[in-house]
Structure 1
């Protein structure tokens, strides 16, 4: 009997300790809803950045120094565009040589470039190595480096197997990056993917004879560090450049980005005619911080820079009378007057909204491990006003 009582007591305690079924159902429903909401929100954010899915994680790889330098040229520390006209187009991609053959032949896979993108400029970046020590006293001081597009002789009755794209003189004893324009070839490859047979580099003396490749050497994808590998840099435009609230041209872009709001209490505002004490005090329309942290979203593995950015948001009231500090439009001024005088029912006060928007820049790895620099329009509230 005692054992039965103990068992019954234990059962009662267990039942009492267990949450009710309705609580468990609500809890799991809330969890499922939060997961669904997060998934939908991330999907929508990807659409803002022009992606269907996040690229694969490439956190262990190093981006080319050229792309890092370009990012720092066009963007500030928060990724905000310094000047919308510093960059040609709105997308820059870097591709490493996939052929990985000898130093005179290169090939690049451009399958990640959308056919709808406008090809603006394409550059072949080659790193010129120092001549071998035993050949440094060669009588040649300059050489002519020519870049050719390899052609398919079986198509269109081509009689030539290559087409000259770019040619110029280079000091024999120099070292560092050399850049050649190959826009014509890339445009033809985009029109016909099968025509992409690669590029061929020819080095000749000023007299026209072939030069010793031990004297003139370019780093190759097979034998040299990634920081010196041949690279194609492609400037394109996807047609989404904003013409609305973006600042135009001058240094106004950076100067119009004020620092974080002052820590002091908000100033008192003039009351509108329908404002009462019961509604409580309200701050005037102003810009407030809104930080987007890519690490919290789970994107830090493929985004190189920035780690996050301050999008800001506009918050506050637009009471009558609207002063110039509220940056009101004429329409907003008239609306506030109609609201204050109660001339028409149902007319609200003007809204506190961004009246200037700036773009940000993302430097990231795509699915093919190419590094991309892209500008996204209307991502940062530069200032707020009553509209």
Structure 2
């Protein structure tokens, strides 16, 4: 979606939240964004992958999103409305109105899909071994570099009491051997592995490390005010030898 130019005197930015229609009369939190307010238009992007999967699974006949200002019930000065406008929601009348509507840049949803023949290749053992992700590692007894399940309880394991929700999450970890040319995506990893094979005491071997990580949304309190934040790189989805 495109934020229209904003010229009024106001804060430099506004925090907004995107919600997904979920069931009858309820909304599910998707993501938070800090939107800069300025004279130049700005494209705003949200990751709605989970919402799209939910709709494609047939859980909802129609998909709706709602953009709301971030508002703390404990804050009397919080903004109750969105300060900026999104292009594409204006209505015009008459013949000139149709021309103006054609010039609007409407919000859009960008989705990518995998053709059936490509999906079959991704499920082949040869390809899956190169992609050491959760879809492969959790369903096999692979001994080499792979994602392993690991659940972390914030209070018990880390002694963190400041995170209100969730109480814990599946962080996962990367572990396993990295033999010669196993999941190596660079020539450096291959050379290092081969060098270590011939000189075991001279150099460290390639190690199994995270390749793809997902964020985690948490709820915490500052005083009596609830805050929602997205922590980046918290969940391991795939591993590689490097």
Q: What's the TM-score once normalised by structure 1's chain length?
A: 0.31
Rg (Cα) greater in structure? 1
Q: From the two aligned structures, give the one with the greater strand fraction.
A: 2
Q: From the two aligned structures, give the one with the greater helix fraction.
A: 1
Larger RCO, structures 1/2 (Cα 8 Å, 6+ apart)? 1
Q: What's the TM-score once normalised by structure 2's chain length?
A: 0.47
